[in-house]
Each structure stands twice: as structure tokens, then as C-alpha cells.
Structure 1
Amino acid sequence: MYKWPYGDWASAGIDAWALGLEASSVIGLRVAKMAGGGVGAAEEAQLMLSEKMQAAFELQTALVTGRLGDNPLTGTQKVLKHYRRKVKANRKRLG
């Protein structure tokens, strides 16, 4: 996570922006793979859906067990970190 000199919320904003860029590259890689069709495309679509459901379940569990912290900033930072790990793994796998 980037430490922006203007405050923690600004840093979280930069992290959200970076996540958006990284996610865009994964979307592009996935679209290219799916455009090719075949078994690989179907498997990628299935994996994409299952990963999204798993990530949401993990965050819901973290929320109800208090692992996202006790304030909005901490929760935001942890959610961004969670999704950035997932996106990074997908970019590495697809690239």
C-alpha cells in the first residue's frame, strides 16, 4: 500500500485507483482468453464467478467477525488489500 503524505484517506484513494487499473488489465486478459472460445474460455468464466463469490464470502466473514477493524478507514484498507491480492494473483496467472 502506498503511503500518501496527505493523509490515510488519500492513501486509500490511491490504492483504490491502483486496484482499478490492475483490475482493468485482468478484465482485458480474461476477455482475450474468453474470446478464443473453447474449453479454456468456459473454465475461465467458471473460475471468475467462483473467485468472486469466494472473495465476497471471505470479506463477509471478516466483517461479521470483526477482522476488518473498528473504523471505516481500517476496513477500507483491509478490503482493498484483500482484493488487490486476488487481482494480482489473477494477473500473474493470466499474463
Structure 2
Amino acid sequence: MIGPWLNMSLLALESQQVVALRLARLAGGGTTAWREAQLMVLEKLEAGHAAAGRLAGGATTDSVVDDYRRTVQANARRLSHPS
């Protein structure tokens, strides 16, 4: 049972990195911040819809967390580079 808990804990830690990177991008203002805010909201809506659909279709919560982690890691890579 440690697997799912570890997976969720890693998601929480990785998400905090993305939150910090996004806050820095948003604090910069301008069109870059505006695009990031729009992307962030769109990603949240899409991710929630996809997760609900997968869970309704019988996916495990652990596999849904894996998908979230992949998205969070991609965001961390993207946000770590100057725009």
C-alpha cells in the first residue's frame, strides 16, 4: 500500500515546485503572465475532466495520479526555461 501514498506525496512535492515557478512567471506581469494564467486555468479544467472520465471508466486512482505527475513534471520543465 505504500506505492499510492508515495506517488501522491511525490505529486504534492512536484506540484509545489510548479506553483513557485508559476508565481514567479505571473509576478513578471505582461503578456507572458497573461498567457500562463490562461494556460493554467485551461490545464486545470482539462485535467479534471480527463481524471473524472478515467475514474468513471474504471482507472485506478494511482494511474490517474501518474498522469497528473507527468503533466506536472512537463510544466516544471517548461517553466524552468526562460520564455
Q: TM-score, normalized by length of structure 2?
A: 0.90
Gaps of 5+ in 1: 1-8, 69-74
Q: Could you say what the CA RMSD is over the residues aligned between the two structures, in angstroms? A: 0.9
Q: What is the CA–CA distance in structure 2 between the aligned matches of 1:81 and 1:33, rounded to whole Å? A: 25
Distance (whole Å) between structure 2 residues aligned to residue 76 and residue 46 of structure 1: 27
Say if 2:62 is the partner of 1:77.
Answer: yes
Greater relative contact order (Cα < 8 A, sep 6+):
2
Q: Distance in 1 between matches of 2:35 and 2:18?
A: 16
Q: Which one of the candidate residues 2, 6, 10 is aligned to 2:2? A: 10
Q: Select which of 3, 28, 44 maps to 1:36.
A: 28
**Once the 2 structures are TM-superposed, how far is the Cα of residue 92 of structure 1 from its aligned partner?**
0.8
Say whether the 8 Å CA contact 2:17–2:76 is kept in structure 1.
yes
- TM-score normalized by the length of structure 1: 0.79
Whether contact under 8 Å (2:54, 2:64) holds in the other structure is no
Name which one, 1 or 2, has greater alpha-carbon Rg. Answer: 1
* Aligned pairs, number: 80
Sequence identity, in percent?
Answer: 40
Provide the residue aligned with 1:72 in structure 2. none
User: Post-superposition, which runs of at least 4 consecutive aligned residues in structure 1 deviate over 3 A?
Assistant: none
1:65 lines up with 2:60 in the alignment: no
